[in-house]
Structure formats: structure tokens, C-alpha cells
Structure 1
Amino acid sequence: MFLPVLHVCPTCPSVLGITLYPPALLLVFVPVLAYTLALWRLRQLGRMVPSSWPALFYAGMLSALVALAGPLDTWNDELLTMHMAQHLVLIQITAPLILLGRPVQVMLRALPPQRAGVLTRLLLRPVWMRRLLTVLTAPLVATALANLALVVWHFPALYEQAVLRQPVHDLQHLSFFGTALLFWWPIIDPVPRHHRVSGLWASLMVFITAVVSTIIGAILTLADEVLYEPYRSVAMPWGFTPLVDQQLAGLLMWIGGGTLYLIIILALLARWLLREEGQRVARESTA
């Protein structure tokens, strides 16, 4: 439901920086409408959800709108920096915020219990489906898939095809967003299934991803030549040159993305330490 069309229609009209490309707009607004209707239904039934859930979900969808139909998409063929920003938004902001909004829980709670049970059984009754979901959301597997997508798509041959060919471009962004959902799933545990990893494990997952992202960003920043051919000859706006554009894109991934990962690691470690301290105090009080 959240998988986006990730490229702009160059002939579509633009209003206030939003490109009026129907598929992209629908794939943002349909989930928002479904989520809003589910919230309305829950209020009608007198079932409330934490106010933070809608706030986080709508923030995530707003970030998706900025990435998919705003200036990041408008200029991503001309500027690698914009393309990189689009990737980082989808991976580091959109995916975790959507999961923090608990859309699965909200939708299921809004359904009559019998229908929710039927839907859950249809999706999870097959043994192979349960096993597949368990494997894909295992911490090491989810981390490996997310970083594999990040590394593979930054090889010049594949990245160039993503810029030049629309189907490959969509596949690139789809793999980034899909593996990001898998990566954040065991950290956030949005259903929940009581499979959330500990703060220490979550910090390790984010640290590994930060290292991989930093290495790629450093390579782009420190390279003495333009690595992606399509950006060599394109007419760049605002006085950018291809090499400066690549260096800024690398710095955005290296410093910008790395800083956000560092903040997340510190927050996860703080949560883990506080939980451990709380459990220690509880054990001592009952001793």
C-alpha cells in the first residue's frame, strides 16, 4: 500500500513545488485516506489510539510527498545531490515514521473483530508465509538486505541505468524503501509480535548501516572524477558542476545521513540503558 511511483512526470503541472503526477499523488493520499478513515471508525467505536501514532504516520507520509512529488524528485535527474536526498528521506525518515504510526494495528482495530481475524488468518495461516516473514525481519537478515541494496545500487553501471531507464529507476527506489521497511521492522515492532530486538541489538544494526552508508558517502566525496556518467553532461541548475554535485551528494550521505544514524544509535542505547536500570531496580526492590 505504501510502495511509491518514484519518478516525476516532466510534463505535468506543478503547484507550490508539488508535481501533479496522479500515480505518485494517489500512492501518497490513498494510504492517508485509509488511515484517516480507520481513525474515524475507531473514534466512532470509542477505541482510541495514542495520539503519537497518527502524528508520526502523517509526518511519514508528508516526507514521502516531499520525496516523491516535490523538488527532490523534480531535480533528481539533474542533480545527484537531490537524488541522494530522496534516497535518504525514504530510508531514514519515511519508512520508520510510517512504521511508528502503527498502520497495521490501526487498520485491524478499525475492522470488526471477525473480519480482522479472517484477514489475519488468510495472511498468516500458510506456514511458508510465517516462516518467510520471520526470516526477512530477523535482525541480521534485515540489516544485510538493507545494506546489500545500498551497496549494489551505488555501483556506477546500475546507478546509471536507474537514471536513464524508468523501470530500473522504480526498481531501485522500491528496493531501497522495501528493505528499509524490513530493516526498521524489528527495531520498531509495529504490529507488535513481541519480536522487537533489544536496544543493544538495534544499536548494532543501525551502527553497521551507518558504517556502510559512511563508506559510500566518503567514496563519492573523495573521488577525483565523476563516477556516474549521466551526470557528466546534464545541464545542472544553480551553477553546480558535476564533480561538486557528486561531492555534495557524498557529504550528504556521509555527514548528514551519518549524523542522523548517530542520533538514533544514542537514543536506542539510552532506551536500553534506562530499561536495564529499571529492571535492576525492580529486582532489588523485590529481593
Structure 2
Amino acid sequence: MHHHHASHDPFDVWNLVHPPFLLFVLAIGALYFILTGPMRREDLKAPTTKQKFLFLLGLILYYVAGGPVHSFGQLLFSAHMTEMSLQYLLVPPLVLAGLPSWVFRPLFGGTLRRKVFSFLTHPLITLFSFNGLISLYHIPMVFDTIMASAWWMGVSHLVLTVVAFMMWWPIVCPLPERDRLSPLKKMAYIFADGVLLTPACAIIAFSDTLMYEMYRDAPQVFAFLGPLDDQSLGGVVMKIIQEIAYGSVLGFTFFQWVRKQREADKAEQEETAKGRNSSSPACGN
């Protein structure tokens, strides 16, 4: 079970930099600029500077999570939780917001595809699949099984990535015509999302016993961080990163809502003013 601890030094430069993963991330970045730049069809809009910034920020966080942070994740549960939080709570909204809308339009192209993707991006489906799977992952038996096998780790990461993108879709909807939730509903959705992930974080943060076999005999990386504190820190980290991600989006959505209300009020006032200025008897006075 613990055969990989001997060779695994998180401070080793190769482990920290993780060159194959770095190349993979750089390739995605290059692909983004080629497809949205020279390879783009004339009639399609280029991403804005803000979109490019958001996408690159998402890529950088993805690399930090899967490279340097991942190298500590075999020995520290808190590092593993940091990696997961970055990959599923911060990267998806940045990537969704950073891609131009035409990238996503083919997903809803045919009737069948539209039905499938409408189902997969339905707010209730996404809320429960994401939070359900993250909680399931952290049941000790499941966790130890997944973490002991590179194959299971790969599969679960793939599934969770897809589900994380689904979960973020209703909030940061990159397709204006599919943006079904009003700002108020988005705020309720984000709130529900926060509530659903809390039990898992709390159970981990407040547990008095070590829940995961994998970290029981792991060599201590930092003198000040014992295994139980490391476990608690993991639960807290996920909650904090979640609060940061949801808090930012909540603030953004709230200001969007306020702006919409203001515009509606202004339009109404202009209508009323127009009505007063025209001296037509149709006003009923």
C-alpha cells in the first residue's frame, strides 16, 4: 500500500515542476491562442483581453494544482484538498468565462445533443451530481481505494472535472441563449452549492480520528503539521477556497442584478417622461 512513499519526495524539482504535465498545459494554452487567433473563422468573434486573462489564469491555477501542489498531495491530505479545490472550484469558471461563446455552440447543435446537454446542465442535476460525487469521493473506503490506484485516480479526476464544469455552467453560462437562470436564481444556486458541500468539509475538519489510511504512515513533511491537523486543514482549505470562488461569483452576480434593476427603472422613467410630454388625450386624463 505504501510502496510509493520511499521514492516520493515532494521537494524534488522533477516532482515539483512535473515536466510532462507542464508541457500538456502549455499545449492547451498554445491551442487556445491558435484556435481563437490565426485559425479562427472570419465571422467569429475573437476573445476579449479580459477573456484571455481569465483563461490564462485558469490554466496557471490548473498547472499549480496538478504540478507543485500535486507533488505534496501524496503525503499531505491538505495538499490533496488544495489541488481538488483549485481544479474543481476555481479552474472551471475561469475557463468557461475565458472561452468565446462559439466554442460551446456545437454542444447544442443537434436535437439529441441539445437534449443531452440541457439535461446535463440542469441546475438540480449539476448541484447534486457535483456535491454528491465530491462527498462520495471523501468517504474513507472510497478515498483509500481511489488513491491507491493510478487508474482510479485518473478516472475519478476525469469524472469530477466533467461534473465540475457542469456545476459551474448554470452560473457562468458562456452561451447567452442558454443562460436560463435569473441573477436571483443564480444567487440561490450558489448558496445551495455552498450548503451541500459543507457537511463533507465539516466532517473532515472536525474529525478526532484519522480517516484515511493513506496518510496514516506518511512521513511528516512539515514539523508543525501532524497528521490530524493536516486532515483538519484539508477540510478547512476546501471550505475556504469554495467561499472565495462562490463569494466572488456571488458578488459579481449581485452587481449584475443591481445593474439590470437600475436599467429597468431608468427605462421606465424615460417611458413615463415620454408619456407626459406628448399631449395626446390617450392617457385618460
TM-score, scaled relative to structure 2: 0.82
Call closer, same or farther: CA 1:30–1:126 in 2, change over 3 Å: same
Match of 1:217 among 201, 206, 216: 201
Matches of 1:16 and 1:229, distance apart in 2: 23
Instruction: Name structure 1 gaps, 5 residues minimum.
Output: 1-8, 109-118
Matches of 2:34 and 2:8, distance apart in 1: 33
| Higher mean displacement: 44-53 or 91-100 | 44-53
Matches of 2:40 and 2:114, distance apart in 1: 32
TM-score, scaled relative to structure 1: 0.82
Matches of 1:259 and 1:158, distance apart in 2: 27
The alignment status of 1:264 with 2:249, answered yes or no, reads yes
Q: CA deviation at 1:259?
A: 4.2
Matches of 1:165 and 1:193, distance apart in 2: 42
Matches of 1:242 and 1:16, distance apart in 2: 22
**Count of paired positions:** 263
Matching residue of 2:27 = 30
Matches of 2:38 and 2:60, distance apart in 1: 22
| Preserved CA contact (<8 Å) 1:42 1:48 | no
Match of 1:201 among 155, 164, 185: 185
Matches of 1:189 and 1:103, distance apart in 2: 11
Match of 1:57 among 55, 76, 93: 55
Superposition pairs of residues 140-219 of structure 1, within 5 angstroms = 140-219=124-203
| Higher mean displacement: 265-274 or 9-18 | 9-18
The alignment status of 1:98 with 2:95, answered yes or no, reads yes
Match of 2:233 among 232, 238, 248: 248
1:196-222: CA deviation from partner (whole Å, max 9, x where unpaired): 422111111211121122222211111
Matches of 2:233 and 2:47, distance apart in 1: 41
Matches of 2:234 and 2:9, distance apart in 1: 26
The alignment status of 1:285 with 2:282, answered yes or no, reads no
Matches of 1:129 and 1:161, distance apart in 2: 34
Matches of 2:24 and 2:130, distance apart in 1: 23
Matches of 2:185 and 2:254, distance apart in 1: 9
Query: Amino acid of the residue matched to residue 90 of structure 1?
Result: Q
1:131-153: CA deviation from partner (whole Å, max 9, x where unpaired): 00011111221112111111111
Matches of 2:271 and 2:133, distance apart in 1: 48
For the aligned residue pairs, the C-alpha RMSD in angstroms reads 2.7
Greater C-alpha Rg: 2
1:258-282: CA deviation from partner (whole Å, max 9, x where unpaired): 3442343233223212212321221
Matching residue of 1:116 = none
